[in-house]
Amino acid sequence: MNMDNFNWNRLEEYKFEDIKRKVNFVKKNYFHLKEDIIDKILRDLKSDSRKNVNALSVSFYNFVVNKKREIKRIKEMYSFDKKFGRYIYTAGADEVGRGPLAGPIAAAAVILNLDCKNDEELILGIKDSKKLTPRRRSELSEEIRHRALGYNISVINNVEIDKRGISWCNNEVLKRAVEGLKLPVNMVLSDGYSIKNLYNNNEFIIKGDAKSASIAAASIIAKVYRDSLMKEYSHIYTEYGFEHNSGYGTEEHIKAIKKYGICKIHRKSFLKNIM
């Protein structure tokens, strides 16, 4: 069956498998279709007498509803950042790895294009990185890196954490992430608290990774980057399960510390009550 000449008015001439393939094609090209075309497809699927096609119509309807809901949610996050629109470039900054017993603390700063001309330019799916599956985080991290106007990632290792303290390192890693951006940032949105000693304008947003598109994007690429580092370390220090726990103090990790001792990437200052 030639799918290029697919006729929604004559669904009865198509096998279910052909219709399903066409619906999947429509989903992938959703942003290129006008709303009245989508509505017609929904009506045609619903009017078909076959149960499996009717079930497909329900599935496609749910897809459309969820897509519209997600577009609305993301537009609100972009609009939140655009409230600071008197600035040319606004960056979001977030850190990951404040609490683990091992490994570095990492931060990212991201500049998104907040002046999207159409819905297709929005990065759908961004949210607090902890609420995403590892696979979805990885997909979004790649998309953010590709589509952002600019981004930078900074890390501070466990040696400096032990030397300077986690509070200083937490602020410093965010500061370094912002200062490493290539574009002239006028405003920095940070999650939860302000970044000290930053020469840029800075607004801190409570639960920022749920409100700000830029902060959410930063939280995603920072977490994916740090998790990737910890997986690399897991091949060197095989006893601690870093590929699963990312250095956090899970029961498995603490048992391994008590059995094997510490390795070079453990934060000694975090282990006083364990060793």
Binding residues for a divalent metal cation: 94-95, 191
Half-sphere exposure of 159 toward its Cβ, with a 13 Å CA cutoff? 1
- Go through the chain and tell me how many residues it has: 275
Half-sphere exposure of 12 toward its Cβ, with a 13 Å CA cutoff? 3
Which pair of tokens denotes residue 195? 């970044």
- SS3 percent helix, strand, coil of the chain, rounded to 5, is 55, 10, 30
DSSP 141: H
Amino acid identity of residue 94, one-letter, is D
- The distance in angstroms from the start CA to the end CA of the chain is 69
Task: Tell me how crowded residue 201 is: count the other CB atoms within 10 A of its CB.
Answer: 14
- Residue list, annotated binding site: 94-95, 191
Task: Tell me how crowded residue 45 is: count the other CB atoms within 10 A of its CB.
Answer: 22
Half-sphere exposure of 243 toward its Cβ, with a 13 Å CA cutoff? 8
Q: What's the CA gap between 173 and 222, in Å, rounded? A: 11
